[in-house]
Amino acid sequence: MIKIKKLNKNFGKVEVLKELDLTIIKGGIFTILGPNGSGKTTLIKAILGMVIPNSGDIEIDGKSILKKYEYRNGINYLPQIANFPGNLTVNELIEMIKTLRNKPTKEKELIQLFRISPFMDKKLMNLSGGTKQKVNLILTFMFDSEIIILDEPTSGLDPVSLIQLKKIIQEEKEKGKTILITTHIMSFVEELSDEIVFILDGKIYFKGSVQELKIQTKENNIEHAIAHLLLKENV
Amino acid sequence: MFKIIKYSFYDLMRSRWSYIYFAFYLLLGFVMLFLNNNVSKAVITLMNVIVVLTPLIGTIFGVMFYYNSKEFTELLLAQPLKRTTIFIGQYIGLATSLSLSLVLGLGIPFLVYGVIESTVIWNFASLLLVGVFLTFIFVSLAFNIALSNDNKIKGFGIAILMWLLLAVIYDGVFLISLMLFNDYPLDKFSLIACMFNPIDLSRILILLKLDISALLGYTGAVFQQFFGTSLGMIVSFLVLTLWIILPVWRIASKAKKKDF
Amino acid sequence: MRNILFIAFLIFVFSLHAKQIEVCATCTIKSLKKAVEIAKSGDEIVVKKGFYKESNIVITKPVTIRGENNPIIDGGGLNYIFQIKSDSVTISGLKLQNVQANYTKDLAAIYISKSKYFTINNNTLSNIFFGILIEKSQYGEIKNNAISSITKQEYNSGNGIHLWNCNHMMIHGNKVSEMRDGIYLEFTSKSKIYNNISTKNIRYGLHFMFSDENEYYNNIFANNGAGVAVMFSKFIKIYRNKFVKNWGSASYGLLLKEINDAQLFDNVFDENTIGINTEGCSRINYKYNIFIRNGWAVKVSGACYANKFRNNNFISNAFNLSFNGRINDSDFDGNFWDDYAGYDLDKDGVGDVPYRPVKLFSYIVNKSPETIVLLRSLFVDMINFSEKVAPVFTPDNLLDNNPLMNQVK
């Protein structure tokens, strides 16, 4: 369980998160939605400890995580942009991340799944964006962790890999993992999401299931529902 | 920490730039020896190059490496690692690989030339040591600048400016102030002023080793005491070490507070 | 006529009676002092191998003392070993040792006063205060002696070869080390000092003043505390000497002070803090000298007039030339400067643009000495370059109009 209490974050004069409260219960897929600059990524990074909040607290399983680092052993994170040290090979990179966490891994089946075994000895700078994203996915899913955070996981993926990704996410969910996703692809949201968290201007404007969203906004289409939320707030 | 050092080092050791840097020094070493035909004169000429160039390369590589590996750093930040581990690890990895390029690049031509049997071996060794010190200092300063500036171009600008300041402008101001306040005793002032610039400090260390100490000591009792005894050597090395420790300490404390 | 006859008679008598006295532990005469006492003019005393504890041997008649297989004469402390007060004395082949430092008397292993035609050769002097101390004497020869001590401080050490008020002396082939001054001359003229090696002396390798018309050549002065200092003398010649490694904060290859009408040529100045420091010297010709790896090759201070520098080599010096003040009456022409960056289009071996021996930085260091800490810095290189292109501070007329493209061989 992730519990966020009165979280504030400013970047200079810009208030990105304002007194944000959020509780994410254990198990399930949570999609975090919101327009650009709404604070999605900042929220995720705060949970990961990459952004240091001005005030407030974040607890995971009842323990504050601020100024700690060991707890990240229980979080898998997929960053938005995949950029790696160009002169290492895929193999070396995977080995490196493996050695950083002393946990059992399942990278072999993932390598097979995403069909990147031919690239294993290639330098990372010679890979295409899509292949890099696949490597990124492998690095994320090869550990068995309770919390999985995915920042725009679909970018640059071919349809086949996208289907594989959805399958993996479903599997992880069935194992009782807590999965946080940010995305712009609404079909992805509709298909997978157990709960939607809608953020605007650093505050949570909606939290609930897809169904609840549709009922509240009286829209049948999720894209329209989101647009509705946005418009309503802008008026 | 060791893992981060190892992988940063691996990454850089395979980078084209490391090879260019290495090849540059290799060429420089051979050309110096070939042109001068005299090891001790080559050492003096090399001093001028090292004192100016290693800071420049350290600065540029430091800033470049930091900005280029930003995303990878973020990946590492999501791992169960301390922030200081990540940044200090990357710093050591980079500084070590640059130092290795320097030491091997210059070492090989001099070894081929037979510097081991020559009497200047210690001068040469101290030259390399100072080069390594300067690399570590300027990479750490560059990391500081990059950490404080998310804007790449601004970071680069400040870094180059810092190099220019320490390599040229500082000495200019120093020289002018020495001339302006000619009527006052300036020996202590000038020694202290040297301590505040790692480039000056390194230059003086090499001068001391190259036995120009007498030349420096000629000026007066304070200089003579400083340069004529081992005091100068010891103090210089201590301050040079401080020049590494303080910026590295700031990297660590800055990294702890920074948002990514 | 009577005189001549008398001299002829004397020579006859001497040659007839000149005899050899042997001194050794098993001989009838066991003491050198005794031998000197009983010897007659012209006798030869042969000292056999052995250890003799003797001092204050006063020689008042022309005798020859010759050591065989290096006998040791130990002065045993606060005494002279030999005091020579007669003409035509020869001392050779002895090992003289142990003369203590004294603050009231300049004790020496060999003290010579008011003598002529003496020869001191092939002796070894060690652990002594003064080595050979000569006063008011003429036509003496000091050759092939080895003189050394283990002095540490200037105040309780003496000079190796010390001449005061002498003339027509020949000092050659000696090795002097670790004394106060290796060779010291005062009021000594018309003498020749050559082929000596003077090293590691705590003050000067060679030091002379008020000594005119002397010649110094083929000597080596190395690793001396303050190098070589010559003062208040005229009509001297210094040539083919080597001044090497006189490194120290107050050290010179050669310090010239108030020297006039001198010739300096074919000397090598290698690794000295200051190669030549000249103060108040006029009409000196510097030719074919080599200045290499010095801090300052030549430093000119005080009023120096009509000095000429021709065909000298300046190589790898931190500063080639430093001038105190802006008046220049020195004349540089046809020297080789290793940092000359001009060109020689007509290929006559002479650069087509003049060379400026005084760098801006050397001018600055003269004004504010502390700036020396900026030696070899990038900024200094830059201002030197700009001064070279457009001279503002350095004397305008200080030029070598015919700088050589290649070293003078």
On chain C, the residues whose CB falls within 8 A of the CB of B168 are 378-379, 382
Helix (H) or strand (E) holding C66: strand C64-67
Q: Is the interface score ipTM higher than 0.90? A: no
The answer to whether residue A66 neighbours chain B at the CB level (below 8 Å) is no
Q: What is the pLDDT of residue B219?
A: 63
Residue in B175, B194, B212 nearest the CB of C318: B212
* Residues A29, A173 contacting (CB under 8 angstroms): yes
Q: What is the pLDDT of residue A234?
A: 52
Residues of C with CB under 8 A from a CB of B: 247-251, 273, 295, 316, 318, 364, 367-383
On chain B, the residues whose CB falls within 8 A of the CB of C250 are 218
Q: Would the pLDDT of A156 be above 90?
A: no
The band of A211, judged by pLDDT with boundaries at 50, 70 and 90, is confident
Average the pLDDT over A15-22 and give the result: 87
Q: What is the pLDDT of residue C5?
A: 65
Contact A72 B79 (CB under 8 A): yes
- Mean pLDDT estimate for chain C: 90
CB count within 10 Å of CB B71 equals 17
Contact A51 B12 (CB under 8 A): no
- In single-letter form, the type of residue at position A50 comes to M
> B232 lies in which domain range?
2-257
Residue in B41, B182, B200 nearest the CB of C377: B200
Q: Would the pLDDT of A235 be above 60?
A: no
d(CA B13, CA B56): 19
d(CA A141, CA C72): 95
* Interhelix angle B83-113/B70-77, nearest 10 degrees: 130
d(CA A204, CA A206): 6
Q: Would the pLDDT of B131 be above 50?
A: yes
Q: What is the pLDDT of residue B154?
A: 95
Write the pLDDT tens digit of every residue in B76-103.
888 888 888 889 999 999 999 999 999 9
| Structure-token pair, residue A49 | 């400890």
Q: How far is C378 from chain B (nearest CA, A)?
A: 6
d(CA C220, CA C194): 9
Write down the residue that tokens 């690989």 correspond to.
B97
Q: What is the pLDDT of residue B70?
A: 83
Average the pLDDT over A105-118 and give the result: 87
* Residues C297, C273 contacting (CB under 8 angstroms): no
Q: What is the pLDDT of residue B40?
A: 67
First to last CA, chain A: 35
| Structure-token pair, residue C291 | 């200045």
Q: What is the pLDDT of residue B38?
A: 67
Q: Which chains touch A (3 or more CB pairs under 8 A)?
A: B
Q: What is the pLDDT of residue B220?
A: 66
Q: Domains in chain B: how many in total?
A: 1
Q: Would the pLDDT of A103 be above 60?
A: yes
Average the pLDDT over A108-133 and give the result: 87
Residue in C372, C378, C383 nearest the CB of B167: C378
Q: What is the pLDDT of residue C327?
A: 64
Write the pLDDT tens digit of every residue in C313-352.
999 888 899 887 666 678 899 999 988 888 999 899 999 9
Q: Identify the CA nearest to A232 among candidates C334, A189, A224.
A: A224
On chain B, the residues whose CB falls within 8 A of the CB of C374 are 171, 174-175, 200
Q: What is the pLDDT of residue B174?
A: 92
d(CA A186, CA A120): 33
User: Residue B203 contacts by C-beta under 8 Å, 6 or more apart in sequence?
Assistant: B47, B51, C376, C377
Residue in B11, B78, B80 nearest the CB of A85: B11
Average the pLDDT over A135-151 and give the result: 89
Q: Is the dihedral of CA C321, C324, C330, C331 positive or negative?
A: positive
Q: Would the pLDDT of C2 be above 70?
A: no
Write the pLDDT tens digit of every residue in B105-116.
988 888 887 766
* Residues B175, C377 contacting (CB under 8 angstroms): no
Write the pLDDT tens digit of every residue in C159-210.
999 999 999 999 999 999 999 999 999 999 999 999 999 999 999 999 999 9
On chain B, the residues whose CB falls within 8 A of the CB of A86 are 11, 15
Write the pLDDT tens digit of every residue in B207-246.
877 766 566 656 667 777 777 678 888 888 999 999 999 9
Q: Would the pLDDT of B148 be above 80?
A: yes
Residues of B with CB under 8 A from a CB of C: 41, 44, 47-48, 51-52, 167-169, 171-172, 174-175, 178-179, 182, 186-187, 189-191, 194, 199-200, 203-204, 207, 211-212, 214-220, 223-224, 228
d(CA C338, CA C358): 13
The answer to whether residue A60 neighbours chain B at the CB level (below 8 Å) is no
Of the two residues C325 and A167, the one the predictor is more confident about is: A167
Using a 10 angstrom Cβ sphere, with 0-12 exposed, 13-18 middle and 19 or more buried, the burial of residue C402 is: middle
Write the pLDDT tens digit of every residue in C9-30.
655 555 556 788 999 988 889 9
* Residues A48, A149 contacting (CB under 8 angstroms): yes
- Mean pLDDT estimate for chain B: 86
Q: Which chains touch B (3 or more CB pairs under 8 A)?
A: A, C
CB count within 10 Å of CB C168 equals 15
Average the pLDDT over B134-147 and give the result: 95
Write the pLDDT tens digit of every residue in A173-188.
998 899 999 888 888 8
* Residues C213, C190 contacting (CB under 8 angstroms): yes
Residue in A52, A70, A96 nearest the CB of B257: A52
Write the pLDDT tens digit of every residue in C75-101.
988 889 999 999 999 999 999 999 988
Write the pLDDT tens digit of every residue in B168-219.
999 999 999 988 888 888 888 888 898 899 999 998 888 877 766 566 656 6
Contact B78 A50 (CB under 8 A): yes
On chain C, the residues whose CB falls within 8 A of the CB of B207 are 375-376
CB count within 10 Å of CB A99 equals 11
Contact A51 B260 (CB under 8 A): yes
Touching status, chains A and B (3+ beta-carbon pairs under 8 Å): yes
On chain B, the residues whose CB falls within 8 A of the CB of A99 are 3
Average the pLDDT over C133-144 and give the result: 96
